[in-house]
Structure 1
Amino acid sequence: MQLKYTGKTKDVYALEDGNYLLKFKDDVTGVDGVFDPGANTVGLTMEGAGQAGLRLTKYFFEILKEKGIPTHYIDANIEEATMTVKPAEMFGKGLEVICRYRAVGSFLRRYGLYAQEGQHLDAFVEVTLKDDGRQDPPISEDALDMLGILSKDEYKVLKALTQQIGNVVKEELGKKAIELYDIKFEFGRVGKDKQIVLIDEISGGNMRAYKDGEYIEPLELEKALLQF
């Protein structure tokens, strides 16, 4: 294995067969010791977060596979906190795509003049650039196209996949009487035909979820869903 990239919450290794291995860490994003899925810094370390995040990621990726929704997932080893994935090409230097069902977090900070806290949103899709130095700025469909990051046709696919996958996660949480407020995804192009697929992870560290109006921490969310 060859280390290709050291990330905030996982490391990426190249395998001899051309696939990649993701090693999940116990670090989660946040600010001043408080978890925030939208933050671009590591805020705290939570013991067991890596394995728990992978366990939930495997759970959701396998549901998506059953539904025929494309991802880069091949398999996972929970004990070692690793996931084997297909190689994927990023959009530019990386995009994050958020699907929002409630007005919280950065959405509320930006649009608080018009939005009420906790206001219902209709699977609102927001794309931001992965750019720590510029605080991950939001970017529009037109700008993505003009800057050569993502064509307008690709944007339509990206948006549709985001809402489709977001609704799958929302439905699964709903079975446990848990409400999804927002979730962050990453996508990439895979194979010769450059198919747009979900990459990275689907874990408690990438979403905000509430039960009876109370926020659920990532580890607690994973325990509640998978009952481990």
Structure 2
Amino acid sequence: MNIVSEGKTKKVEDLGTEVMLHFKDDITAGDGAKHDVLQNKGAICSEITARLMKYLNEKGIYTMYLEYLPPNKIRARKLKMIPLEVIVRFKKAGSFVRRYGGNEGEDLPSPLVEFTYKSDTLHDPLMCVEHLEVLGITTKEIAQSIIQQAKEAGNYLKEFFESHSIELWDMKFEFGLDLDGKVCLGDEISPDTMRLRKSGEIFDKDIYRRDLGNPLEKYEVVLKLCQSIDL
């Protein structure tokens, strides 16, 4: 295998004009300060990602997804990733509450998109569009395209989970540019990257962040819902 990069939860294999993402069983929190290995996590998160990206593709959102290869691999478009976490928020939660106050689960008046710079050492600082231009991360035009696509993808995912009686509070996306320079949704969509709630019950990585038990029990519930999307 020609592994060209490895992050906390995935390895990327170069296939020439495409890549293969290998999802690992690792789970982390606190910029990697907390780290464990949970058997079968990679398989669960890769299948959820594959099904949700297939769903978004069908809704007209351009994603990296090409093919799911069980148990834990996705064949994907090769992207030059933009070093940003793009957070779409429907409710106040997590770092938003720590920064601005309010109550967990309180509605925002409209969907909010935040950019944070991907850097564990800098603790993912917030950035505005002008930061992206001044620091040479991306252009204003690409940033605006990302904002639009992130909101559209977020709304489609919110509708999907609402149809299964689960609230989507927020999610983290990552985008890159394909070989033609087109903005494309990449990385992962799973309970690692979303907040999913139902009547106070948690179905996401906050279980791990808060030491509330084995998160994979709830991840498997999310997977069963996502299996309503054909691959």
> TM range, normalised to the smaller chain?
0.7 to 0.9
Letter in 1 for 2:68: A
2:100 is the counterpart of 1:111: yes
Q: Which runs of 4+ in 1 moved over 4 A?
A: 39-42
Measured after TM superposition, the shift of residue 142 of structure 1 is 1.1
Amino acid paired to 2:46: L
Match 1:63 to one of 55, 80, 97: 55
Cα distance in structure 1, aligned partners of 2:127 and 2:120: 14
Residues 1:41 and 1:123: Cα distance change in structure 2 (over 3 Å):
farther
String of CA shifts for 1:191-227, please: whole Å, max 9, x gaps.
Answer: 22x1101001111111111001221245314424525
Amino acid at match of 2:58: E
TM-score, normalised relative to structure 1: 0.88
Asked if residue 82 in structure 1 is aligned to residue 68 in structure 2, the reply is: no
**Alignment pair present for 1:23 and 2:22:** yes
CA distance in 2, matches of 1:222, 1:95: 28
For the Cα contact (< 8 Å) 1:204–1:222, is it kept in 2?
no
Which residue does the alignment assign to 2:149? 161
The answer as to whether partners of 1:130 and 1:136 remain within 8 angstroms in 2 is: yes
- Displacement, 1:146? 1.7
Q: CA deviation at 1:116?
A: 2.8
> Would you say the 8 A contact 1:99–1:123 is kept in 2?
yes
1:181 paired to 2:172: no
- Please tell me whether the aligned partners of residues 26 and 48 of structure 1 are also in contact (alpha carbons under 8 angstroms): yes
Matches within 5 A, 1:1-228: 1-15=1-15, 17-31=16-30, 39-41=31-33, 43-79=35-71, 81-91=72-82, 94-112=83-101, 115-121=102-108, 122-192=110-180, 194-217=181-204, 219=216, 220-227=218-225
How far apart in 1 are the matches of 2:125 and 2:223? 32
Q: How many percent identity over aligned positions? A: 36
The one-character-per-residue Cα deviations of 1:6-58 (angstroms, maximum 9, x if unpaired) are: 1100111112x431111001112224xxxxxxx45553322211111111111
TM norm structure 2: 0.87
Amino acid in the other structure paired with 1:64? L
CA RMSD between the two structures: 1.7
**Counterpart residue type for residue 158 of structure 1:** I
- Report the CA distance between 1:90 and its aligned residue: 2.0
> Hey, what's the Cα distance between the residues in 2 that align with 1:131 and 1:89?
17
Q: In the aligned structure 2, how far is the partner of 1:96 from the partner of 1:208?
A: 15
1:155-187 CA-partner distances (Å, limit 9, x unpaired) = 111001111111111111111110011100000
Corresponding pairs, count: 214
CA contact (8 A) 1:75 1:85 kept: yes
Tell me how far apart the structure 1 counterparts of residues 32 and 116 of structure 2 sit (CA, whole Å).
12
Q: Match of 1:207, as an amino acid?
A: M
